[in-house]
Amino acid sequence: MSRPILPLSLGVQLGTLVACALLFWCFRRWLDRKARNPRGLPLPPGPKGLPIVGNLFQLPQKDPWLEYDRMNREYGDLVYLEAVGQPILILGSLEKANEILERKSSKYSDRPVLPALQMIDVAWSFSLFQYGPELRHYRKTFHQYFNANVISRYQPILDEEVTAFLRKLHKSPELFLDHTRDLLGYAIMRIAYGFDDPEVNRGLLHDGETMLKAFVEVSLPGRYLVNDIPILRHVPAWFPGAGFKARFAELAQVSRRMHVDSFERVKTNLENGRRSAHPSMAADLVDKMPNEGNPARSKYNEVAQDVCAVAYAAGADTMISTLFALFLALAMHPEVQEKAQKELDSVIGSGRLPTLNDQKSLPYISAIVKEISRWHTVAPIGLPHVTAEDDEYNGYFIPKGTYVMANSWAILHDPNVYDAPEKFNPDRFMKDGALDPTVRDPGVAVFGYGRRVCPGRWLSDSTLFLVTACFLSVYNVYPPKDDSGNSIPLKIEVAPALVSTPLPFKCNIRLRSSQHAHLF
């Protein structure tokens, strides 16, 4: 007697269904691509992939800028990849980034629609908006508070936080990494929301850092299969491999806390007569909010809380990473500290700390800021641009929906532009005692490209200049010593993420002299 044929388990049935759906989806994409490219133009060069999954398993998960740079050196400044049918284009030079993302920006300024980002509830971030009137409105609102002409209104906040930072270093220099986080985090919370309570700010900043890391992680090509196969977002949480759903749900709660609750707290404070000592972005937006009953009020409130949350979430993290790298680089290069302090002593003297008004008179300090931005590229590969339509470039077919990413790290470490690019050398930006305008400014790559350039770049540059100038006016930084009193060599090591942050390190920070303590 034959054994009865048992039905397939539910898990196997679902797995078969998903596999069939995937095959059908890939086939439809192939047919569609063929119809849209009737001339049969070739795709840009790149490594050969596998059937169905393409280059999915060749997408680097650690230090992707290094692997993409290797691919660019092998295949050229354009490298084409596909992950489960999703086209990806890597730009390995500033020339290609400018030609494609700047000059053809009308076609190359959209963003990916990533299910993972929708699931963690960060759709409020206008950096994810498709290019169009809504994005322009959000950027215009943000620009009102962070353009080059208004940064001076935040100088009192920056001066107070920098002075507090110098005092903390004097009291507990071994905690310099924590003090740096406090400095930049508290400054951006005061600028964005007017929150002066350090304990409140510390909790909110933790939420912001959590969401920024999640934002970056889930955007990385190949990291989450749900971005390549959107139907997976509907798979039940108990299904094998669907553990991401529970984590994404937790992140969505954090997102609401930082996005909605922070802005509502400002409204409550103002209603109760509690206004911060210095102007803030949120308070000004609340003051200008349409009256109750005005049909424009709801949309205005949405835009206001969104742009404040963007400043909160992204404003401090990149600057923190840059300053960590700066302290490391300075400890490795005492000659840079010495040269900077000669300039500071000559221009500023010993009676006060530098201010933003001194920037034009301190070219070497500005050169240090430029060099640390180049040497430690904090966003080696930013968020992808997406093609809004099919395009032809240099005889290649670029499909609609292609993720286009410029390798900013490679652009800022190009040996044809920067001599010995692996070395930290601010003098590369100097000539005859002034900044050399002929040297490629890191700003061409650090802040993004085309219509997606970071609107907070002026606050970032001003803050980094002020912290660098004030720190070097007062302190020296040295490598740590071992038990025998010998200096321990330092080297930069970064955490694996799209926002490149140096791993924790030790160094010794000491006053230049006892007389310098009176400056803070």
Spell out the per-residue pLDDT of the chain, length 520, in tens.
444 444 446 556 666 776 787 777 767 767 777 788 988 899 999 999 999 889 999 999 888 999 999 999 999 999 999 998 899 999 999 999 999 999 999 999 999 888 999 999 998 999 999 999 999 999 999 999 999 999 999 999 999 999 999 999 999 999 999 999 999 999 999 999 999 888 888 888 888 888 888 887 887 767 788 887 888 888 888 888 788 999 999 999 999 988 899 999 999 999 999 999 999 999 999 999 999 999 999 999 999 999 999 988 776 788 999 999 999 999 999 999 999 999 999 999 999 999 999 999 999 999 999 999 999 999 999 889 999 999 999 999 999 999 999 999 999 999 999 999 999 999 999 999 999 999 999 999 999 999 999 999 999 999 999 999 999 999 999 999 999 989 999 999 998 776 789 999 999 999 999 999 999 9
Angle at 399 between CA 398 and CA 404, to 5 degrees: 65
pLDDT for the residue 419: 98
Please give the Cα distance from 381 to 422 (Å, whole number). Answer: 18
Please give the Cα distance from 227 to 59 (Å, whole number). Answer: 14
Q: Which helix (H) or strand (E) holds 234?
A: none
pLDDT for the residue 151: 94
Q: Distance from CA of residue 369 to its chain's centroid?
A: 17
Q: Look up residue 327 and give its amino acid.
A: F
What structural domains does the chain harbor? 128-519 (1.10.630.10)
- In this predicted model, what pLDDT tens digit does every residue of 140-190 receive, in sequence order? 999 999 999 999 999 999 999 999 999 999 999 999 999 999 999 999 999
Q: Binding site membership: which residues?
A: 454
pLDDT for the residue 315: 66
Q: Which helix (H) or strand (E) holds 511?
A: strand 508-511
Map tokens 């993409």 to a residue: 68
Torsion of CA 239, 242, 243, 249, to 10 degrees: -110
Q: Binding site membership for heme: which residues?
A: 454
Residue 95: Cβ within 10 Å count: 11
Q: What is this structure's pTM?
A: 0.90
pLDDT for the residue 275: 94
Q: Look up residue 91 and give its amino acid.
A: L
pLDDT for the residue 498: 67
Beta bridge partners, 386, equal: 110, 403
Tokens at 251, concatenated: 């992140």
Which among 91, 83, 52 is positioned nearest to 220, based on CA atoms? 83
Angle at 340 between CA 335 and CA 344, to 5 degrees: 150
- In this predicted model, what pLDDT tens digit does every residue of 15-26 receive, in sequence order? 677 678 777 776
pLDDT for the residue 14: 64
Q: Look up residue 350 and give its amino acid.
A: S
pLDDT for the residue 6: 40
Map tokens 């002075």 to a residue: 163
